[in-house]
Amino acid sequence: MDPCQLLGANVRRLRQERGLSQEELGFRIGIHYTYLGSVERGERNVALRNIVRIARALGVPVAELFEGIDPAQMDDVSGPG
């Protein structure tokens, strides 16, 4: 799976575990919920600053957002962006 899709799936899972809507999490981070939705769908190559903001708002270490991403198993990570 593409690393952006894995990151997005992790964000969605953690957001849902905390009972937050995309709107609420977006508000806490300071980004629009439509941007957050595109992150969760793996459509965005997310900037590091936004990754840190997302982790902080979810109350997790940044590394937890990258769970399941193994660079050694990736043939091509040149996707969008």
What are the structural domains, with CATH classification, of the chain? 3-67 (1.10.260.40)
Copy the structure tokens of residue 49. 């600053």
Q: 3-state class of 2 per DSSP?
A: coil
Degrees to nearest 5, angle at CA 52 with 1 and 48: 65
Please give the pLDDT value at position 75. 66
Confidence of residue 79 (pLDDT cuts 50, 70, 90): low
pTM of the model: 0.87
